[in-house]
Structure 1
Amino acid sequence: MNNPCRQHFQRVTAAIEAAAVEPNQTMAGATAYEHQLNQLLQDRLRLKQIQSNQGKAELKRQLLPDYVPYVQGVLAAGLGAQDEVLTTVMVWRFDAGDFTGGLDIAAYVLKHHMVMPDRFARTLGCFVAEEVATAAFKAQKINEPFDLPTLHRTAELTAAEDMPDQARAKLFLAMGRATLEDITDAQPSPPAPVQAGITLLKKAIELHDACGGKKDLERADRLLNKLAAAGS
């Protein structure tokens, strides 16, 4: 897969074939798709040999470059035909921590109202929102930053998607915490970012009262009051 000529051929072939399949059909039967689906089945067998989730994620990071030319071709010219390779690669990118790459695919599959493979219980929009929010929670739990623009992009992409209120509440809570994470009494901020964080936390609590954001909201309210008092 390090051969640039081969990568170009695979990318162009995928683009041509994806552009020829209508949105209400599947990519089944297309040469590039069947080749990648075959590769996917082999890679899944390798993943089944690993019990550790961290080990699986590391292997996915190693495997994902093999799918890049195909994905690039489909995203460039595809009409939205159902594509299990594309949706699976999206999932793997999230698992591997490549949220930008995962959201690039999510933008395409959400635009074309594609569905998740049968083995996934959640709808596509719910999956995307929860995967990013959960990753943000994990980072925040160990005091590591999570990219706020990634959270905002996720919210924008999934804004019109139907999902349980609890799932959307997770995303708002993660956004609220990320907005407020660098703002403390020792490092004061203008009131606007604090108010933005409060608004997000309130949205999360309104959607799911037990989302876990009430203490965050109390702290943010106290901080906003201090900033207002200092400003006056």
Structure 2
Amino acid sequence: QVMVWLFDTEQFEDGLELADFAIEQGQVMPERFKRRDIQTFVADAVIEWAFAEYTAQRSPEPYLSNMLPLVDGQWELTEQIPSKYHKLIGMRAMEAGELSTALKHLERSTELYPKAGNETRISKCRKALAKQQAAPATE
């Protein structure tokens, strides 16, 4: 219950620390969170917050990037969850002009969950990268 409250109140440092402890101990979520394990709860809570921060034009870092190795690697989650992380990282990279990074994350998002809705962004990245590579280097 305390861990849930920490995430609800956006106290992620303490929430993540408590979550790690609970996962190590094999604890389960309270009954009202039917069929959700701690990893799923934490991953969902952080990505929902990250999208809200992004929408409000605030940075979801460092939590967004720090969670990626857990959600797409260590933890067993439904593919939609890590797909959302890659999608948001890709969107942010695209806006920052980091097209190859954006393309990598958007393609991974789509690989994990084909219905992620990244087709237009991937196409834009590929076209912009092709244009960059075709342009002569100016010195």
TM-score range, shorter chain: 0.7 to 0.9
Equivalent residue for 1:115? 28
Shift of 1:162: 1.8
Structure 1 position 146 matched with structure 2 position 51: no
Shift of 1:175: 2.3
The amino acid of 1:89's aligned partner reads: V
TM-score computed with the length of structure 2 as normaliser:
0.78
How many positions carry a matched residue from both structures?
135
Report the identity percentage. Answer: 27
Secondary structure in structure 1 of the residue aligned to 2:59: coil
Shift of 1:116: 1.2
Q: Distance in 1 between matches of 2:135 and 2:113?
A: 33
Structure 2 vs 1, CA of residues 153 and 225 (structure 1 numbering), >3 Å: closer, same or farther?
same
- Which of 67, 75, 83 lines up with 1:169 in the alignment? 83
Q: Distance in 2 between matches of 1:99 and 1:230?
A: 44
Q: CA RMSD in A?
A: 2.3
Mapping of 1:48-197 within 5 angstroms? 88-121=1-34, 122-147=36-61, 149-158=62-71, 159-183=73-97, 193-197=98-102
Unmatched segments (≥5 aa) in structure 2: none
Mapping of 1:33-44 within 5 angstroms? none
Deviations 1:172-229 (A, max 9, x none): 212222333322xxxxxxxxx4322211111111111111222222232233233333
Structure of larger gyration radius? 1
The amino acid of 2:27's aligned partner reads: M
- Which of 107, 114, 133 lines up with 1:228 in the alignment? 133
Q: Distance in 2 between matches of 1:106 and 1:228?
A: 45
Shift of 1:230: 4.1
Q: Distance in 2 between matches of 1:207 and 1:106?
A: 25
Structure 2 vs 1, CA of residues 89 and 213 (structure 1 numbering), >3 Å: closer, same or farther?
farther
Q: Distance in 1 between matches of 2:65 and 2:92?
A: 10
Structure 2 vs 1, CA of residues 134 and 231 (structure 1 numbering), >3 Å: closer, same or farther?
farther
TM-score computed with the length of structure 1 as normaliser:
0.51
